């Protein structure tokens, strides 16, 4: 009788995928970030970039296929016609102790890897096996010929896949030829998520983004010309508190977006994480973090200034408002919401912000990560009492609490 080896049912997984990819299979095509220098980004700072071979990635695709087959077979046994639901996962855990151990009490390291793969693949099956996200920070860094081979193998193994997305650095996009990008698109690459952050060279340089405004334009246009959809991430607040620099950051970012005209604009307002190099710059007073009101202003200017048709969203929890829709169609509605906030007296704005971040889930996440430490707790309490007492510095206290809260992580 053949034994099942957990290694055959495990895939290597990176740390994250972007918002909106909850239905996707995570498939790691390289490890970490080949640039890894942006001051505001802590994600891969403790790790080194390394490439993965086509053979390694193909092995992971085969592991996903095996896990998918196993789930479908359990589903058929249960009379569920191959559909994967939560009870199918539970039953599979019990049915294959050689793969998953006696979950959760007695599980070997190899079995934990198989369990992570099961979670990745089962979630994907529940959502219909259509989307795949290529990890990590710059999947396009893989040689185009190799990536095309991976995409072909993926689609052959899973013909249901219709959307393949990844993060990509603009500099890498700019260095690819139009022909290479067209071939990648034809092989199945549908979307690239590009961290633009700013259209201002001065800000890009200070933040060590490793890309110029011109490379952003070149990379973005090449993607779109090849038929690959582009989501551009921009970051209100990245110019800091100085009004001249932040003004240039906002205006140049708007101009850049209007020049590239990406398919979608996603906003993630600056959060200075204590694990990111920018935190040290704040402590050394080399960078001054803007307040929430300033970031709301910048967001409003961006919404006002974007003059092409695009999807637009501000769903990341570091934003003071959650918008999702299209520009210019919903421009007025978004601006009206911001105007209502701006018209509030400082005490009401402080209340809004406190509610938004403390009661909107952010604090629970931070608590869940074990990072609700005494200094943060103290600042939150001070902010709450300053509002209860209607203290004149309530807004300032709230801002301080939110800066500390956001420094713990981004949900
Ligand atoms: S390129 Fe992206 S992942 Fe890499 S350091 Fe910069 S922000 Fe972080």
Domain range list for the chain? 6-345, 346-411
- Res. 2: pLDDT tops 80: no
Give Cα separations from 152 to 41, 57, 116, 125, 189 (angstroms): 32, 12, 25, 20, 10
Nearest Cα residue to 402 out of 384, 381, 386, 379: 379
Question: Helix 54-77 to helix 144-157 angle, to the nearest 10 degrees?
Answer: 10
The alpha carbon of 172 and the centre of ligand 1 are apart by a number of angstroms equal to: 12
Which atom of ligand 1 lies nearest, measured to the CA of 45? 5
- Spatial separation of the C-alpha atoms in residues 288 and 319, rounded to whole Å: 18
pLDDT at 360: 86
Lowest-confidence segment of 44-48, 49-53, 159-163 by average pLDDT:
44-48
**3-class DSSP state of 27:** strand
pLDDT at 103: 79
pLDDT at 102: 87
Q: Quickly tell me which residue has 């890309």 as its tokens.
A: 211
Residue 216 pairs in a beta bridge with: none
One DSSP character per residue, 189-222 reads EEEEEEEEE-S-HHHHHHTT----HHHHHHHHHH
Question: Whose Cα sits closest to atom 4 in ligand 1?
Answer: 36
Nearest Cα residue to 349 out of 401, 387, 309, 303: 387
The alpha carbon of 208 and the centre of ligand 1 are apart by a number of angstroms equal to: 10
Band (pLDDT 50/70/90 cuts) for residue 18 is confident
Residues with CB under 6 A from ligand 1: 33, 35-38, 41, 43-44, 137, 169, 195
- Spatial separation of the C-alpha atoms in residues 148 and 229, rounded to whole Å: 17
The alpha carbon of 262 and the centre of ligand 1 are apart by a number of angstroms equal to: 19
Band (pLDDT 50/70/90 cuts) for residue 359 is confident
**Which has more pLDDT, 247 or 18?**
247
Give Cα separations from 333 to 248, 321, 338, 343 (angstroms): 26, 12, 9, 15
The alpha carbon of 197 and the centre of ligand 1 are apart by a number of angstroms equal to: 10
Mean pLDDT to the nearest integer, 326-348: 97
State the pairing for strand pair 25-28/131-135. parallel
User: Based on C-alpha coordinates, what's the Rg of the chain?
Assistant: 23
pTM of the entire predicted model: 0.95
Question: Helix 86-95 to helix 54-77 angle, to the nearest 10 degrees?
Answer: 100
**For residue 31, what is the DSSP state?**
E
Which CATH number is 6-345's, of 2.60.40.3670, 3.30.70.600, 3.80.30.20, 3.40.50.261?
3.80.30.20
The alpha carbon of 295 and the centre of ligand 1 are apart by a number of angstroms equal to: 21
- Spatial separation of the C-alpha atoms in residues 161 and 380, rounded to whole Å: 46
30, 31, 39, 43: residue to mutate for ligand 1 pocket, most atoms within 8 A of CB: 43
**For residue 274, what is the DSSP state?**
T
- Res. 1: pLDDT tops 70: no
- Spatial separation of the C-alpha atoms in residues 319 and 292, rounded to whole Å: 9
**For residue 28, what is the DSSP state?**
E
Mean pLDDT to the nearest integer, 63-69: 98
Per-residue pLDDT of 140-181, as tens digits, reads: 999 999 999 999 999 999 999 999 999 999 999 999 999 999
- Res. 57: pLDDT tops 60: yes
Q: pLDDT over 70 for what percent of the chain?
A: 100
Q: What are phi and psi of 42, to 5 degrees?
A: -95, -5
Question: Whose Cα sits closest to atom 6 in ligand 1?
Answer: 38
Band (pLDDT 50/70/90 cuts) for residue 106 is confident
Question: Whose Cα sits closest to atom 3 in ligand 1?
Answer: 137
Q: What is the mean pLDDT of the chain?
A: 96
**Spatial CB neighbours of 243, under 8 Å, sequence gap ≥ 6:** none
User: Taking a C-beta distance cutoff of 8 angstroms, is the pair 122, 71 a contact?
Assistant: yes
Question: Whose Cα sits closest to atom 8 in ligand 1?
Answer: 41
32, 40, 195, 216: residue to mutate for ligand 1 pocket, most atoms within 8 A of CB: 195
The alpha carbon of 306 and the centre of ligand 1 are apart by a number of angstroms equal to: 25
Q: pLDDT over 90 for what percent of the chain?
A: 95
Express the helix, strand and coil content of the chain in percent, nearest 5 each.
50, 10, 35
- Spatial separation of the C-alpha atoms in residues 188 and 200, rounded to whole Å: 32
The alpha carbon of 194 and the centre of ligand 1 are apart by a number of angstroms equal to: 10
- Res. 16: pLDDT tops 80: no
pLDDT at 376: 96
pLDDT at 15: 83
Question: Whose Cα sits closest to atom 5 in ligand 1?
Answer: 36
The alpha carbon of 167 and the centre of ligand 1 are apart by a number of angstroms equal to: 10
Per-residue pLDDT of 282-324, as tens digits, reads: 999 999 999 999 999 999 999 999 999 999 999 999 999 999 9
């Amino acid at each position: 009788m053949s034994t099942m080896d957990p290694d055959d049912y495990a895939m290597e997984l990176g740390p994250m995928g972007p918002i909106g990819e909850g239905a996707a299979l995570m498939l790691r095509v390289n490890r970490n970030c080949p640039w890894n220098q942006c001051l505001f980004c802590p994600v891969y700072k403790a790790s080194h970039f390394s490439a993965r071979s086509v053979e390694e990635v193909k092995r992971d695709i085969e592991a996903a296929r095996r896990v998918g087959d196993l789930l479908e077979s359990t589903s058929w046994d249960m009379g569920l016609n191959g559909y994967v639901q939560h009870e199918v996962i539970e039953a599979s855990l019990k049915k294959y102790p050689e793969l998953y151990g006696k979950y959760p009490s007695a599980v070997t390291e190899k079995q934990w890897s198989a369990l992570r793969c099961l979670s990745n693949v089962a979630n994907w099956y529940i959502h219909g096996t259509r989307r795949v996200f290529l990890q990590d920070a710059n999947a396009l860094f893989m040689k185009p010929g190799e990536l095309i081979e991976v995409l072909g193998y993926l689609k052959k193994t899973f013909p249901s896949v219709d959307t393949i997305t990844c993060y990509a650095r603009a500099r890498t996009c700019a260095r690819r030829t139009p022909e290479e990008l067209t071939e990648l698109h034809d092989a199945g690459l549908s979307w690239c998520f590009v961290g633009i952050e700013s259209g201002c060279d001065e800000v890009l340089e200070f933040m060590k983004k490793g890309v110029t405004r011109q490379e952003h334009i070149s990379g973005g246009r090449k993607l779109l010309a090849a038929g690959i959809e582009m989501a551009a991430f921009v970051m209100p607040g990245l110019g800091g508190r100085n009004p001249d620099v932040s003004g240039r950051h906002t205006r140049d970012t708007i101009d850049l977006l209007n020049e590239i005209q990406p398919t979608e604009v996603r906003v993630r307002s600056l959060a200075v994480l204590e694990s990111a190099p920018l935190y040290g710059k704040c402590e050394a007073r080399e960078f001054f973090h803007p307040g929430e009101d300033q970031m709301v202003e910048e967001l409003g200017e961006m919404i006002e200034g974007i003059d092409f048709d695009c999807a637009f969203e501000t769903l990341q929890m570091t934003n003071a408002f959650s918008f999702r829709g299209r520009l210019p169609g919903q421009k007025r509605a978004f601006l009206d919401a911001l105007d209502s906030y701006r018209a509030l007296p400082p005490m009401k704005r402080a209340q809004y912000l406190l509610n938004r971040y403390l009661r909107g889930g952010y604090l629970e996440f931070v608590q869940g990560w074990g990072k609700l430490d005494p200094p943060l707790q103290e600042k939150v309490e001070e902010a709450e009492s300053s509002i209860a007492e209607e203290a004149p510095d309530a807004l300032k206290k709230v801002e301080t609490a939110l800066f500390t809260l956001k420094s713990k992580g981004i949900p």
